[in-house]
Amino acid sequence: MYKLTIMFFSFILFSVFSSLNAGVNFTGKTVTIVVPFKEGGGTSRFTRFMQPFLTKYVPGKPVIKIMHIPGGGAIKGSNYFQKNQKPDGTYLFGCSTSVIVNVAVGNPLVEYNLSSYKPVILLPQNTHWFTRSDLADQPHDISKLQQMKLVLYALKTPASADLFHIWIFDKLGIKGAKPIPGLSSSGGYQAFLRGEIHISSHGAANYIKRVKPEIEKGKVVDLMTLGIVGSDGSVTRNPLAPNAPTFPEMYQKVNNKKLSGEDLESFYSIAAAWSQASKSLLLPEGTPDEIVNVWRNAATKMVNDPDFKSKAKKALGPFPLIIGEEAGPIIKKASVFSQNTKKQLNTVLKKHKFTFRLQ
């Protein structure tokens, strides 16, 4: 069930903006959502699921089409959106963590101004870490992994969201952690099942589909999750693995102190990019407020639609969507890393002898 905050947004948005936005109408227009990934991926499924509901609630019921532009680690389609968008409500951007990380790490090929985009809706996700049952005395125990001289895990590329794994394991004192570059999430999990790597991870959907059956067989044990970060900075446990500690809880257990200071600051930036803004729908920079409010109002009506509610948990996961003003600071925190966060990430990259650095 979605949180009461979304219902609160529904009332506020409808009552405050309905008169202001009375002149905004998309009758006879076509809306294009640019998705910088191939059809069938997570961002594609996210936008395609919302497509009919947004058509229903956007004034004028416009035709909404999804344009997939894969390539270049999501940079090709993202740059296309920046160059071709119109701030009139007829162009939206289907964003993901990969798109955000390209900006946050200072990739010189990036031409899109993500931090200035206007968020309509964010779909949080979460990361689960797990290991083989012979490498932990019990679930949520990393003591054996801390003692091992070599702990292998998959890393697609240090310029992707996989970069954050390096920081996580370093902060937990897993000194033998060594990444194997070039392995995708799917490839890494297959290597894990073959016994070739020691720690693996998955997002919510694959955790339910692939990992839980192995846990039930006794072959795999949960370690922790990133945690669900609220707008107030609180971190709660993932409802898909309610017994698994969050990263801040594991950090406290390992270091005998709460996550704070520069480490906490870095965690919030990582969580914003990796979890809170994992999937999002954005309007371009310069879109007038009345148009932004029309789309946010439509999104609010969408999440309160009984048909949406009945299907969304299975299609999108159990995490409540973030709509409106609350989403803006999250996008900025995710896409503009502080100098401290960059320094921390560059330190662990150097420790593992990667030449890649955040700019």
Same domain, 183 and 228: yes
Residue 261 located in a structural domain: yes
Helices (H), the chain: 4-17, 42-57, 75-84, 97-104, 143-147, 163-171, 185-193, 204-206, 212-216, 247-255, 261-271, 289-303, 306-316, 327-335, 339-351
pLDDT, the chain, mean: 91
Same domain, 253 and 266: yes
pLDDT, tens digit, for every residue of 84-110?
999 999 999 999 999 999 999 889 999
Residue 18 has pLDDT above 60, yes or no: no
We report the CATH number of the domain holding residue 288 as 3.40.190.150
Residue 232 has pLDDT above 80, yes or no: yes
We report the CATH number of the domain holding residue 252 as 3.40.190.10
Residue 236 located in a structural domain: yes
Same domain, 176 and 256: yes
Token pair 């990934």 in the structure block, residue:
37
Cα–Cα distance between 102 and 105 in angstroms, integer? 6
Q: Which of 235, 257, 273 is the last residue of a domain?
A: 273
Angle at 280 between CA 277 and CA 285, to 5 degrees: 105
Residue 357 has pLDDT above 60, yes or no: yes
Residues facing residue 121 across a β-bridge = 281, 323
To 10 degrees, the CA torsion angle through 320, 321, 326, 329?
110
Q: What percent of the chain has pLDDT over 70?
A: 94
Residue 12 has pLDDT above 60, yes or no: no
State the total domains in the chain: 2
Residue 9 located in a structural domain: yes
230 pLDDT band, cuts 50/70/90, is confident
Same domain, 268 and 177: yes
Same domain, 154 and 34: no
Same domain, 119 and 28: yes
231 pLDDT band, cuts 50/70/90, is confident
Q: Which of 227, 244, 273 is the last residue of a domain?
A: 273
The tokens of 271 are what?
């969580």
pLDDT, tens digit, for every residue of 37-88?
999 888 999 999 999 999 999 999 999 999 999 999 899 999 999 999 999 9
Same domain, 233 and 293: no
Q: Which of 221, 255, 273 is the last residue of a domain?
A: 273
Query: Which pLDDT belongs to residue 159?
Result: 85
Least confident residue range of 162-171, 302-311, 328-337: 328-337
Same domain, 183 and 302: no
Residue 187 located in a structural domain: yes
Residue 195 located in a structural domain: yes
Same domain, 134 and 242: yes
Query: Which pLDDT belongs to residue 204?
Result: 87
Residue 353 located in a structural domain: no
Per the structure, the complete domain to which residue 181 belongs is given by 128-273
Same domain, 317 and 233: no
Query: Which pLDDT belongs to residue 126?
Result: 92
Q: Is 158 exposed, middle or buried (0-12, 13-18, 19+ CB in 10 A)?
A: buried
Residue 359 located in a structural domain: no
Same domain, 162 and 267: yes
* Range 231-244 average pLDDT: 91
314 pLDDT band, cuts 50/70/90, is confident
Same domain, 312 and 251: no
Query: Which pLDDT belongs to residue 2?
Result: 40
Residue 14 located in a structural domain: yes
